[in-house]
A = this chain, B = another copy of it.
Amino acid sequence: GYLFAQTAPAGDTTSLLITNKPPLLQNVHMNVLLRSSLEIPDGDKPSSLRLNEARLEFMGTIVPDLDFRIRYRLNRSQAQRDLDNAPGSLDHASVNYKFGSQKKWSINVGKQAAYVGNWEFETNPTYEYQYSDFVNYQTNLFLMGMRLGYQANKNHGFFLQLHNTYNNSFTTTYNNAGYAPDGLKSAKHPMGVYASWLGKLFDQKLHTFWSYDISQYASGKTNHAVALGNKLVLKKLKGYLDLQWASMPVDYVNIASPSVNKYQQGLNPAYTPGFARDINYKGAVLRLDYEFVPGWFITTKGIYETSSQTKGNSAIGKNFRQNIGVLAGFEYKPIASQNMKLFGYYYNNQVKYRNAIADANEPQRSSLFAIGVLYLVNAF
């Protein structure tokens, strides 16, 4: 519902935690998202106690059919970006208005979550320990948008979301990366559209969230992306399998570009680094959580993502960069009514290179042991 997810699928917005409320506050909520842990990495890297999450959320429905939502991080600068005038700290600052017969239609305007078919991102960040590159870098997750929704029935909703492709201006994106524009210029409308389906199937045991996105940023360069999120909700077993594919004529997300630049500079020391062209990304993320004793959980996650450049028989070729992550841990939830957990987990991450790229780039491997506490507080 609203409380647990980035965005609020219709008909699922009631907090179960607090019933003893004055009428006013039955429809206004404050949530606090907290997670802290002691992280001990391998090798020489220093251990530290880390503030993994600290976000505040205010939301409510003052009159029927009209909602507001604000959520922001307490550990990010509030300085605004230059294209959208919104800061990186702000996840949500939006208004949702339902209309039409039976209120099946809705329009959501403001800073909001990309309506991308991805349960890893859709899960409340309090609960997600380590993310894929898809969530960390590949997708512009919190963006300015106008989202039109149609809730066909209890189980199926369809959405079109007009959005800014990125949050900074074209010039700033190049300046931040330290790259030269090499002949490209900003599109007049650096925007895109998500078309999304949120479904509940098989007695609401399978939740689908599928999306297709088309967007542009540089003039004449069109991005395409497909994301297929599939979530399983059983009594003791919960999990998701997210699949994604994206085609980027210019690699503005800069995941694959550094390794390509290093390879090109090996061939030609005078090569000017830039955003790589014609990169394809693919990925699969699987998470499974099992409650083996009431209040005790085992949590596991696997990440597999690749980058390719195959256009024009490029020497760089298929799957030249691979990102592999494996996480396993235990969780203990001592108070049934509260989303507070003590946890411990181990995470291993590898980045490997193949083909011509492997000659210029060393594989990277890191691992981490963490122990800590998370608490998603529904204060009122």
Contacts and interface: CB of A to CB of B under 8 A. Distances in A.
Interface of A: 17-18, 20-25, 28, 30, 32, 34, 36, 38, 44, 46-52, 54, 56, 58, 60, 62-63, 65-66, 68, 70, 72-80, 83-87, 89-90, 93-95, 97, 99, 107, 109-111, 143-146, 162-164, 169-170, 186-191, 334-335, 337-338, 340, 372-373, 375, 377-380
A369 to B, nearest CB: 13
Contacts of A60: 377, 379
Which 10 A/B pairs are nearest by Cβ-Cβ distance?
A: A49-B144, A51-B86, A77-B79, A22-B22, A54-B93, A109-B373, A36-B110, A75-B80, A95-B375, A47-B189
Nearest to A22: B22
In terms of DSSP, what is the predominant structure of the interface of chain A?
strand
Nearest to A59: B379
Q: How many copies does the complex hold?
A: 3
B76 A46 contact: no
B34 A93 contact: yes
A48 B84 contact: yes
Contacts of A109: 36, 372-373
Contact of A85 (B20, B23, B75): B75
Contacts of A52: 85
Contacts of A188: 44, 46-47
Contacts of A377: 60, 62, 68
A373 B303 CA distance: 39
Contacts of A77: 77-79
Nearest to A378: B62
A72 B74 contact: yes
Given A58-B379, A95-B34, A164 B49 contact: yes
